[in-house]
Amino acid sequence: MNDKIVKIWLKYANDDLKAGVLLFNNDPYEFKSIVCYHMEQAVEKYLKAYLIFNDKEINKTHDITELIENCKEIDIDFDNIYSFNANELTDYAVNLKYPSSFF
Q: Are the C-beta atoms of 20 and 39 separated by less than 8 Å?
A: yes
Q: Dihedrals φ, ψ of 52, to 5°?
A: -65, -40
Q: Give the pLDDT score at 97.
A: 61
Each residue's pLDDT tens digit, 40-87: 999 999 999 999 999 999 989 999 999 999 999 999 999 999 999 988
Q: Enumerate domains of the chain plus CATH numbers.
A: 3-98 (1.20.120.330)
- DSSP alpha helix (H) spans, 1-103: 3-26, 32-53, 64-72
Q: Give the pLDDT score at 102.
A: 43
Q: Decide: pTM greater than 0.85.
A: yes
DSSP state of 77: G
* Residue 66 one-letter amino acid: E
The CA-CA-CA angle for residues 99, 92, 35, to 5°, reads 90
Q: With cut-offs at 50, 70 and 90, classify the pLDDT of residue 33.
A: confident
Q: Give the pLDDT score at 103.
A: 39
Residue 15 CB coordination number (10 Å):
14
Average pLDDT in the chain: 90
